[in-house]
Structure 1
Amino acid sequence: MAFSIVTLVLVIIFLIDYTNGKCGDCQDNFVACQSLTTFSLCIDDKSNDDEILECPQGRLCTDKPDICVENTNSSFQASCGQGCEVCNSHDKVFSCVGRSEVAFCFGEDLPFYSVIARCPKGYVCDLSSRAICVKKDYSEGSCDKDYKDSTSDLPIIDVATPSSVSSSPLIRDAQTFCRENAMEGTFAAEGDLTCKKYYICQALSNGSKFMGYSYYCSGSDYFDPVKRFCVADKPKSC
């Protein structure tokens, strides 16, 4: 019993020692944590957001004197963005980099910022859901900060509903297409007459199952099924 009490006290002390702060706030160590793994210097108690620095791999931004501290405990909490810019979704498929912005991890520990999309209006990024985007009515989202880069040109994740899938039984949704196709890559969406929709198929860590995601090319761009990316000119196949 005595051992359990001592252990409990140590855990409580640890949790007090590593508490969540607010992203962008200047701390006693003269930096502001901008995300789980990035920080900026504080000048005259104001964050210098023009220069964002990264912690070494495997370390998280805290309010400790060392700034970037290695995560060696399951109860560890960084100063900012416990659910931001971290690949801790199911099978490390994606990361929430903003309230509605998603970066894909593809099974890695850090997100690929070259592959970012946005949830539809009224949805937020939720690390606990395999659907990625969840209605605000059912989730507060995993990342409570604004995504700083412009989001106007980000492709929007297509959130499928049971009715939209069942209404076209011969046309496979992204998840079904990728599971049955069993290949990684980017593909034109089945049944899309606008030539703007496409699927991204990604194998899970064990390689035996595949996840599928739907996107739309932004603005006036079209998806080229040969080049397999969005282009300005309408493909001849459209």
Structure 2
Amino acid sequence: MTTIFDAPEEFASTALAGFASIYNRYVRHVRGGVVRSAKVPQGKVAVVVGGGSGHYPAFAGYVGPGLADAAVAGDVFASPSTAAVARVCRQAHKGGGILLGFGNYAGDVLNFGVAAERLRAEGIDVRIVPVTDDVASAPADMHEKRRGIAGDLVVFKIAGAAAEAGLSLDEVERLSRHANANTVSFGVAFKGCTLPGAPHPLFTVPEGQMALG
């Protein structure tokens, strides 16, 4: 596969800056992420989503009216840092508290969790909703161990719509958790992706077959 990009180690940051430049009527670039460029009412709950880059349009593409107020992006397939999460959250906070949404992966759980603790120490009410829709990654009685994949978008959208409607942080969190508990996904792949700078795809699938889970 032929690709065009700058230095591989700068792929995520340059892609984020380029996205914000093209769609500046929707988002504003801040270090490590984007926030809504349109004026947001004071007192509104801020829905902040994020995770590793490479899952476009996630996560910057989810920022806008009725969806997320900000997004934090790590390197390709890597969680954003605690500092980046906290920094973007401060930019998005409008006094109504923050709901953090992300896929249920160890790095994201750790870094978003530590960032939430830092923000709470500053007096900001922060709630966390890790998305756990992937039925292939854990059985039903271990729902909290499932990964977050395509179901992210459903949960984020419901959270964003609730926040846009002016609901309280308690209600936004309740609806988000309800959506997460009732959303399931199952992944299939026909070929592996190739990371920037890598000579080969992460995995291959024989012609006429697909990988499940």
- Could you say which structure has the higher helix fraction? 2
TM-score for the superposition, normalised by structure 2: 0.28
TM-score for the superposition, normalised by structure 1: 0.26
- Could you say which structure has the higher strand fraction? 1
- State the structure with more CA Rg: 1
